[in-house]
Structure 1
Amino acid sequence: MADQTFDMIVIGAGPGGYVAAIRGAQLGLKVCIVERENLGGICLNWGCIPTKAMLRSAEVYHLMQRAGEFGLSASGVGFDLGAVVKRSRGVAGQLSAGVGHLMKKNKISVVMGMARVTAPGQVAVTSESGTQALAAPSIVLATGARARELPGLEADGDLVWSYRHALVAKRMPKRLLVIGSGAIGIEFASFFNTLGADTTVVEVLDRILPAEDAEIADFARKRFVKQGMTILEGASVKALERGKGEVTAQIERGGKVEKHVFDTVISAVGIVGNTEDLGLEALGVTVERSHVVTDEFCRTGVKGIFAIGDLAGAPWLAHKASHEGVMVAELIAGGHPHPVKPGSIAGCTYCQPQIASVGMTEAKAKEAGHDIRVGRFPFIGNGKAIALGEAEGMVKTIFDAKTGELLGAHMVGAEVTELIQGYVVGRQLETTEEELMQTVFPHPTLSEMMHESVLDAYDRALHF
């Protein structure tokens, strides 16, 4: 490709970058997107999508083992890990190809290679075929993030895995240690535990799922323990001694260090932004703790340079990145978009049971000075949940007692990652408890629990 000039250059083709490119093209901009590895980025190829495909396999396997509860019979239930991985990779490959189709459909130029911003409005892309120069008055940084590695706990792909190694696992762990209990760690722990691994989760903080409401996290913890997991909270892995076919982990807890032997370790201790080799320092772009500092419109402070998605900090969620991409594209095209509100972005964890939340936790609402009303409704009180054989779970809602504002909603149980969007819409529309109470929910559905939780906050629950 000869040197070219565009209206907008997007660096990174993940869910933030490729969506920004599409929206820009829709608005009449001449757009180029640069990607160093796979269209669709980490989320589509090595994160959100392939993990959900694997977790679906584990869910079906779990249900097959419960066939008798539903009046069914299934003998010789087993699994083929290689086939599970193959299906997962196939799903990711299909969607990555779909992104390529969308780029062609929207007439977006795709350049594969390593990008570096050499000056405001100037990008150099290096690939095996050489280096080419691109120019645009607006540049969107969407390079995402990668797994954080702690000294001594680095992944080797053999005994110690990163999320990438786990997604293409060549063997089934027998004794598994998962370091970190955020969404990534808990999802892999849930997957391998369901398939039969003796699973231990270590969390350095005083409880697992530290970003979630404490009551929801505690409920999930009890379910994990019931499923056979060992949960070590307030603990840290001080060292890993790698031997032949096994790893000895030194785990410190309560001032005491004990040694535990595993055959596999998955490190899931957070992420760091991909800020290296982009030329940011020379441009004057501010980077703090591996993330680019931006304002509410994702502007970096350097004219014409924006940063979106994981690169720009929490919440590290694909849907947040996508909406930031749309917002920035509209801004570049001369529009006046609203900024993305982090407090109205749902977080979803696809373990078993699923966990989903939006807005403030109960503790955060109190810390912010709100006088609150809290409602709860258990799955055991819902006819659809009982009929599904999924009677363990809870929906929790938090309201400002004075204004009726929905401050937060938190769920644990079957399909809550789908249910949470109802509350997300409610927060976006600035709904009150009265409006939610007057909303008619269909019967029989799991969504009725959302209504009942609201009613319970005001001592009006009907079915529990």
Structure 2
Amino acid sequence: MGEKFDVIVIGAGPGGYVAAIKAAKAGLHTAIVENRRVGGTCLNRGCIPAKAMIHASSLYREMQESERFGVTASDVQFDYGKIVAYKQETTDKLCQGIDQLLKANGVTFLSGKGTLEKGKAVRVVTEEGESCYEAENVILAAGSKPLVLPIPGLDLPGVLTSDELFRLEEMPESLVIIGGGVISVEFASVYSNLGCKVTIVEAMPRLIPNMDKEISQNLKMILKKRGVDIHTSAAVQRVEQEGDQYTCVFVEKEKEVRASAQYVLCAVGRCPNTDGLFGEGVEPEMERGRVVVDEEYRTSIEGVYAIGDLIRGMQLAHLASAQGVYVADKIAGKEPSVDVHTVPGCVYTDPEIASVGITEDEAKEQGLSVKVGKFIMSANGKSLITKEERGFIKVIAEADTDVILGAQMMCARATDMIGEFVTAVVNRLTVQQVAKGMRAHPTYNEGVVEALEDIEGNAVHIMPKKKR
């Protein structure tokens, strides 16, 4: 048996590496196990590379449309290889930063495949051999992998997961995306911006179905305007290969429809990556492939915790990081320093989408009496300057107390501005408390005050409703 630690973390993604650093900062002897690069899916195969490609493709589209600002740009082109290199450079810098943070905080890095054995032992296997370590506490943070549905044809060579799409070195000419969630619409934005013919096939009645209905409707209109072909309430039956093309066959409105492309992307979500995570005789309670935990992320095995994509809940990098902080604080005997229940959701399309708390429809379903304030961003000065697409900010507040319960935003910089509403919801701030702070002009953030003031009918830049 090798060295003994206070904490061993299996997985160095955004949940794992944050938990390890927090534990080390609290004075706990900490190790982290990872068989690939640090940063996990988010940094290497998800959030960061996707957002880098969104930025590059959006810049290309903006340059093509620059004449509307009085700027003429001729012969605008892109080099897909250089976009991929820029994406990789961004990832590499952040990975290097995490490596340095782990080292600077005294976290022992164990390179290899980590497996939980009996007695809170962790076996680490490499090509050279294996070692075993003991721990007082083990945090499972092995993350997730792309989910592939049992649909005929998804094993064909031209059917890709998001991992494989990132590895393409040449720009796809056409792409059919199975799924209409966050991963789907972000990739649709990237490739349609670059001139790729994109088709989305979604089984649910609308895109990003977990978001506010109005957001879904607006996003569908914007994507269609940009040339994306969208099919909702469409059940995929199979994928067929026809020469160098792949055809997605689906049923829509009781009719069989065929959509062909150079590649098919399966973007229906992700599932826990538990392959090789548990040794022989180690059986934590599981439910539908996920590790079952209590409210403090403890598994059924004493001293073993699980966080992030391994457990039930939203699969988001920032949620995994918050859970990592929470568990590290609990192990160190501290009061948790983060609220893990109020989780912002973000979609990096153009315009951006962000939400937190409950929607208006959810409030109705729960029988809550609420007030709703809304501001259309076409009346916002900064939005007019930058000629933004249709967008809005909506705020949901408790009718009796004016406590803010949720917010939905579809506008420029929404993913940055949602933090203000996260703070409001976590601290149960009222509409009046959040509106009291002065916002600079001209900014997109001015729309926040307008939406808040609309709850009481006092917004300056919203036309008063006509009295009947």
Alignment match, 2:448: 450
CA distance in structure 2 between the partners assigned to 1:171 and 1:391 by the alignment: 30
Residue matched to 2:413: 415
Shift of 1:321: 0.7
Query: Does the CA contact (< 8 Å) of 2:351 and 2:410 recur in 1?
Result: yes
Counterpart check, 1:45 vs 2:39: no
Match of 2:370 in 1: 372
Shift in alpha-carbon separation, 1:54–1:145, aligned structure 2, 3 A:
same
CA spacing shift, 1:171–1:283, aligned 2, 3 Å: same
Closer/same/farther in 2, CA of residues 154 and 137 from structure 1, 3 Å limit: farther
The C-alpha deviation readout for 1:394-445, integer Å capped at 9, x for no partner, is: 1111111112121111111221111111111111221011212322222111
Change (3 A) 1:175 1:153: farther
Q: Does the CA contact (< 8 Å) of 2:153 and 2:239 recur in 1? A: no
Contact 1:406-1:427 within 8 A present in 2 as well:
yes
Any stretches of 5+ residues in structure 2 without a counterpart? 463-468
Provide the residue aligned with 1:16 in structure 2.
15
Find the aligned partners of 2:352 and 2:264 in 1 and give their Cα distance: 23
Give the equivalent residue in structure 2 for 1:395.
Answer: 393
Counterpart in the other structure of 2:60: 61
How far off its partner does 1:97 sit? Answer: 1.4
For residue 23 of structure 2, what is the amino acid of its counterpart? G
Selected match of 1:426 from 424, 428, 437? 424
Change (3 A) 1:155 1:257: closer
2:107 corresponding residue in structure 1:
108
Per the alignment, residue 302 of structure 1 pairs with 301
- Cα displacement (A) at 1:361: 1.5
CA contact (8 A) 1:157 1:165 kept: no
Offset of 1:193 from its aligned partner? 0.7
Q: State the alpha-carbon separation in 2 of the partners of residues 246 and 28 from structure 1.
A: 57
Q: For residues 282-297 of structure 1, what are the structure 2 equivalents within 5 Å?
A: 282-297=281-296
- Residue 13 of structure 1 deviates from its aligned partner by 0.1
Give the SS at the match of 1:136.
Answer: strand
Contact 2:139–2:305, Cα closer than 8 Å, also in 1:
yes
- Contact in 2 for aligned 1:120/1:303 (Cα 8 Å): no
Partner of 2:210: 211
Hey, what's the Cα distance between the residues in 1 that align with 2:399 and 2:277? 48
Q: Say what the alpha-carbon RMSD is for the aligned residues.
A: 1.6
Structure 1 SS opposite 2:43: helix
- Between the aligned partners of 2:232 and 2:389, the Cα distance in structure 1 is 27
Summarize the Cα distance change of 1:340–1:307 in structure 2 as closer, same or farther, 3 Å threshold.
farther
Alignment of 1:184-203 (within 5 A): 184-203=183-202
Any residues of structure 2 matched to 1:16-415 within 5 Å, and which?
Answer: 16-152=15-151, 158-279=157-278, 282-337=281-336, 340-342=339-341, 344-415=342-413
SS at structure 1 position matched to 2:19: helix
Deviates more, 1:221-230 or 1:133-142: 221-230
Deviations 1:109-140 (A, max 9, x none): 11111111111321111111111011001000
Moved over 4 A (4+): 153-158
Larger mean CA deviation between 414-423 and 332-341 belongs to: 332-341
Contact 1:5 1:135 in 2 (8 A): yes
Q: CA deviation at 1:338?
A: 5.9
* Conserved? CA contact 1:64–1:77, under 8 Å: yes
TM-score, reference length from structure 2: 0.95
Q: Which whole-Å CA distance do the structure 1 matches of 2:176 and 2:152 have between them?
A: 12
Q: SS where residue 82 of structure 2 aligns?
A: helix
* Structure 1 residue 12, shift from structure 2 partner: 0.0
Greater shift after overlay, 147-156 or 208-217?
147-156
Q: Secondary structure at the match of 2:67?
A: helix
The CA deviation string for residues 228-262 of structure 1, in whole angstroms up to 9 with x for no partner, is 11111100211000232101211111222122221
- Closer, same or farther: CA 401–126 of 1 in aligned 2, 3 Å: same
TM-score relative to the length of structure 1? 0.96
- Equivalents in 2 of 1:340, 1:308: separation in Å? 14
Task: Give the superposition deviation at 1:46.
Answer: 0.8
Structure 1: distance between partners of 2:196 and 2:4: 54
Partner SS state of residue 55, structure 1:
helix
Tell me the secondary structure at the aligned position of residue 238 of structure 2.
strand
Unaligned runs of 5+ in 1: none
- Does the Cα contact within 8 Å between 1:216 and 1:412 map onto a contact in 2? yes
* Contact 2:154–2:239 (CA under 8 A) maintained in structure 1: no
- Alignment match, 2:466: none
What is the total number of aligned residue pairs between the two structures?
Answer: 462
CA distance in 2, matches of 1:314, 1:382: 35
3-state SS of paired residue (1:82): helix
2:422 partner SS: helix
- Residue identity opposite 1:325 in structure 2: G
For 2:130, the aligned partner's letter is T
C-alpha distance in structure 2 between counterparts of 1:146 and 1:5, whole Å? 30
Shift of 1:151: 2.0
With over 3 angstroms needed to count, the CA separation of the structure-2 counterparts of 1:81 and 1:153, relative to structure 1, is: farther
